[in-house]
Amino acid sequence: PVDVIEITESMFEPLLSDFSPAEKIIFNQCESIPGLHHSEHEAARIIESMGFTYTGSGPETLGLAEDKTRVKQILESFNIPTPAWKLYDYPSAQGWNLFPAIVKTSLEHCSISLDPGSVVMNQKELESRIEYILDNFNQPAIVEVFIDGREFHVPLCGNGKVQMMPVVEMDFSAFSDIHDRLCTYDSKFDPLSPHYNKIESRIPAPLNYIELLNLEKICLNAYHAIDCRDYARLDVREQDGVFYVLDVNPNPDLDIDASMACSAAHLGISYPDMMSRLVKLAAQRHPLFNHK
């Protein structure tokens, strides 16, 4: 039997105390604990401290993924291509002369702060956008070279031998303006927005054999470098034959219309079957279920 538990308060240990770690595996879809900002990793830590086996990555990986600076540093240390970048905690963008550029929050996910104004074409726009991030999100801004090329969402699944599932291309051909060619916050959460309605998903992405091999190698390296577990989704852009990792998401959206589920559906895997497979990956770590 499946028990659904909605976390509505910061202290959720009592919600789990009625269940036995010997009998239950937790499907962890918690993105934050109410009242605690940047607490995705804390939820996993609490679940783990109570002795439960659970799906997905551990607290260290989830905490790492919340910090784009640390992710970029690790990708670079493994020689994994990622757009050139710099962190700014002050509005003056000294030392940056690469345009077009994109300005993001350094400690958020779900495309928070991303809109057409995130893409900047000159120093004045850059400094204005950095100031916007500092003032509105109270955290440093990360500036990257904007790769104005094809964008792919790459679902990965497994431990040890990791499978790259069918790649999803985000098609921005409806937009002629460079400022619009990105996955904005509205593209995910506002059904009335142009980005939500005009960005098309192409499954599988039209890539040739060599391109798929190159993409797979880069994504598998990134998956292991960030120490992802069970599943993850990578956001990647391509320009001049080079694939650049934009982000590694070890706790991706698993809704039925999200990239992971759509990719599984292309393989003929139903949504319930996909979820069951993810639970079975976690079960391999359970002291009892892994023998069944």
Domains, the chain: 85-145 (3.30.1490), 148-283 (3.30.470.20)
Looking at the chain, how many residues does it have? 292
Residue 7's pLDDT band (cuts 50, 70, 90) = confident
- Mean of pLDDT values over 226-254: 97
- Mean of pLDDT values over 41-52: 92
Ordered DSSP codes for 1-17:
--------SS--HHHHT
Q: State residue 37's pLDDT score.
A: 64
- Mean of pLDDT values over 129-142: 96
Ordered DSSP codes for 73-113:
HHHHHTT-----EEEESSS--TT---SSEEEEESS--TTTT
pLDDT at residue 292 is higher than 70: no
Q: State residue 41's pLDDT score.
A: 87
- Mean of pLDDT values over 139-158: 98
Whether the CA torsion 285, 286, 289, 292 is positive or negative: it is positive
Cis peptide before 59 (omega within 30 of 0): no
- The residues that bridge with 86 in the sheet, in sequence order, are 143
Cβ atoms 250, 25 nearer than 8 A: no
Q: How many CB atoms lie within 10 A of CB 233?
A: 27
Q: State residue 136's pLDDT score.
A: 95
Among residues 114, 247, 249, 118, the alpha carbon closest in space to that of 184 is found at 114
